[in-house]
Amino acid sequence: MNVAAEAPAAGPGRIRATYLLRTAGDADKVAAIVAGEQSSGTFLPVPGESEALKQRSAARVERLAPVEDGGLPPLPGASPGALASYEMELSWPFANLGASLPNLLAALAGNLYELRDVAGLKLLDFAVPAEFYAAYPGPAFGVAGTRRLAGVAEGPLIGTIVKPSVGLDPAETAAVVDQLCEGGIDFVKDDELQADGPGCPFDERVKRVLDVVRRHEARTGRTVMVAFNLTGEIDEMLRRHDLVAELGGSCVMVSLNGVGPAGVTALRRHARLPIHAHRNGWGYLGRSVDNGFSYVAWQKIWRLAGVDHMHVNGIANKFWEPDDSVVASARACLTPMTKSHRNVVMPVFSSGQTVMQAEPTLARLDSSDFIFCAGGGIVAHPRGIAAGVRSLRQAFDAASAGIPLGEAAKRSPELAEAVEKFS
């Protein structure tokens, strides 16, 4: 699950990053090559690469410690030989790049993945100096702001994804949301496949869904938080955000990889609503053992950019990821980036989630500052959507009170049916 044994310390003046490095070469030399490639060196000594220039601009190898090697074959094109694994910490002078996330990525996660001497490389963690926190304000809402807007003072936010993911028109979507609100849901999100397709245009969907939300608000005094997927081009996203805000909505959602860091930062700087960040595509960035990013490193990029909620998969999910890795990701989201710049975001559990995961999620996270999204786990309830929502809330209430699920199910036919269906 790729967690660094030793996290890099944020120090004055330098940017630090920790990697899992696999190589068949002399590790000290390879680490120096990586540091050179990512700063003032190239494959040949060049004139102008003076000692003074290196002194002010070269990346440094701060630490290189052998770790157990996973025994996988090397990445293609790697220099041959017996492979070993290392935890490698590099540092860069701040003056090389300044407080810029897009340029931070070029330094931390640029050409180095392509070096021949690199048979495997994963960015495990990083730390940036104070200038970055001055330039990037981080999440505007985080846990406290989300709780305030959703009207949920304590406990997890019980949420769902509109299902079917795609194919409902705006009126059909609003009808589903109506039943969810009827059942007492806290949070609803669009599927990441549903943004502004001709089959379900964004504006019309937002209008119809927020009509429903406001009707229930008048009844309950609480505004169900709906994360509308505004993923698109910059101008589209800003306009869509404004529409949601004007119509009294309280959240927007964005696909991080489809938009990219500069687009997400632009959205953050414009937004006056919480940003729900979807990680679709994370598999190609993080699933390989020996290539890409650990989630611990990757989520920091978006917390700096200033999103408020981050997807972390779920316990016993329908995807590949083991529970330990999911829990580590969720904890990372709740771990302050620095003492003075916490940038804590709300982890979002999803993927095949049902009443069965309520207790283990609460127990393993050791916090209730999270959003728990069940899609099929609500909509596929035998008695319908509202019953699906109620069963999920009952499961969390029971878990919070220390009542075993089986016991709680005896008192609620809705919960009993959910347990039978999803266990």
Report the alpha-carbon distance of residue 252 to residue 242 in Å, rounded: 10
Do strands 275-278 and 251-255 pair parallel, antiparallel, or not at all (unpaired)? parallel
Question: Based on CB atoms, which residue is closest to a copy of itself, 60 or 116?
Answer: 116
What separation, in Å, do the N-terminal and C-terminal C-alpha atoms of the chain show?
A: 27
Question: Based on CB atoms, which residue is closest to a copy of itself, 198 or 221?
Answer: 198
Q: String of b and e for 137-175 (b: at least 16 CB within 10 Å)? A: ebbbbbbebbbebbbbeebbbbbbbbbeeeebebeebbb
Which has the closest alpha carbon to 208: 238, 170, 155?
Answer: 170
Can you tell me which of 18, 160, 250, 255 binds a copy of itself, judged by CB under 8 A?
255
Residue list 81-120, contact with a copy of itself (CB under 8 A): 93-98, 100-107, 109-116, 118
Q: Which residue has the tokens 């909509």?
A: 379
Quick check: 137 binds a copy of itself (CB under 8 A)?
A: no
Site string for a copy of itself, 174-193 (x = CB under 8 A): --x---------------xx
| Residue 142: CB minimum distance to a copy of itself, A | 21
Question: Based on CB atoms, which residue is closest to a copy of itself, 217 or 323?
Answer: 323
Quick check: 258 binds a copy of itself (CB under 8 A)?
A: yes
Can you tell me which of 5, 12, 46, 153 binds a copy of itself, judged by CB under 8 A?
46
Quick check: 78 binds a copy of itself (CB under 8 A)?
A: yes
Largest Cα–Cα separation, the chain:
79
Contact between 332 and 126 (Cβ < 8 Å): no
| Residue 38: CB minimum distance to a copy of itself, A | 7
Contact between 6 and 87 (Cβ < 8 Å): yes
Question: Based on CB atoms, which residue is closest to a copy of itself, 201 or 360?
Answer: 201
| Residue 237: CB minimum distance to a copy of itself, A | 7
Q: What angle do CA 13, 137, 301 make, to 5 degrees?
A: 70
Residue list 353-392, contact with a copy of itself (CB under 8 A): 375-377, 379-380, 384
| Residue 291: CB minimum distance to a copy of itself, A | 5
Encoding tokens for residue 176? 């589903």
Contact between 250 and 210 (Cβ < 8 Å): no
Can you tell me which of 6, 26, 29, 53 binds a copy of itself, judged by CB under 8 A?
53
Quick check: 44 binds a copy of itself (CB under 8 A)?
A: yes
Quick check: 280 binds a copy of itself (CB under 8 A)?
A: yes
Residue list 334-353, contact with a copy of itself (CB under 8 A): 351-352
Report the alpha-carbon distance of residue 61 to residue 307 in Å, rounded: 31
Residue count of the chain, please give it.
423
Quick check: 80 binds a copy of itself (CB under 8 A)?
A: no
Rounded CA Rg of the chain? 23
Considering only 203-211, 290-298, 331-339, 399-407, which stretch makes contact with a copy of itself by CB under 8 A? 290-298
279: left (phi over 0), alpha (psi -120 to 50) or beta: alpha
| Residue 272: CB minimum distance to a copy of itself, A | 18
Site string for a copy of itself, 313-332 (x = CB under 8 A): x----xxxxx----------
| Residue 267: CB minimum distance to a copy of itself, A | 9
Contact between 118 and 29 (Cβ < 8 Å): no
Considering only 140-148, 289-297, 357-365, 400-408, which stretch makes contact with a copy of itself by CB under 8 A? 289-297
Q: Which amino acid is at 19?
A: Y
Quick check: 138 binds a copy of itself (CB under 8 A)?
A: no
Can you tell me which of 38, 91, 160, 343 binds a copy of itself, judged by CB under 8 A?
38
Q: What are φ and ψ of residue 15, in 5° steps? A: -100, 135
